[in-house]
Amino acid sequence: MSGPEERLAELGLSVPEVAKPVAVYVPAVRTGNYVFTSGQLPMRSGELMLTGKVGGEVSPEEAVECAEQCALNAIAAVKAQIGDLAKVRRVVKVVAFVASTPDFTGQPQVANGASELFGKVFGDAGVHARSAVGVPVLPLDAPVEVEIMVEVGD
């Protein structure tokens, strides 16, 4: 049976470098058997993939890709705390923020970009509770931000 990083490789993906915070906070914190990530933006190679509002300058399809990148960045933040992604027992909660135009109502479908990746990478342990929230603006004019809480073991 393959582990999370092998499943990422099968998808043509890898754990990126932990994204640098854009303000005064850390990417993730572990307390007991839980890791909480800060909101992760769709940063790739140190730059935002896209800027703007979903339903405006950013298409729903592009936003799904951004949500997937946010999820990859959250996975990187978790790995930095625990060392080995095989220690993830469960992705407990995912919160996706979608900067969108007032008439856009597809936030759940955008958040699926993150949710589906967690399922592919962690299998049954990737099934989680979730909120998908439409907001007027996100840091750096990012279209999507994702934070997660995971349960870990030794």
Helix (H) / strand (E) containing 89? strand 88-99
The CB density around residue 94, as the number of other CB atoms within 10 Å, is 25
Q: What is the pLDDT of residue 2?
A: 85
Q: Residue-wise over 28-60: b if at least 16 C-beta within 10 A, else e?
A: beeeeeebbbbbbbbbbeeebbbebbbbeebeb
Single-letter residue type at 118: F
Whether this prediction's pTM lies above 0.95 is answered by yes
- Cα separation, 150 vs 76, in Å, equals 13
* Ordered domains of the chain (ranges, CATH): 4-9+31-152 (3.30.1330.40)
Q: What is the pLDDT of residue 22?
A: 86
3-state secondary structure at position 59? coil
- Cα separation, 15 vs 135, in Å, equals 28
Under the banding of pLDDT at 50, 70 and 90, the label for residue 18 is very high
Q: Is the pLDDT of residue 154 over 90?
A: no
- The span from the first CA to the last CA of the chain, in angstroms, equals 19
Q: DSSP label at 86?
A: G
Q: What is the pLDDT of residue 1?
A: 58
Mean pLDDT of the chain: 97
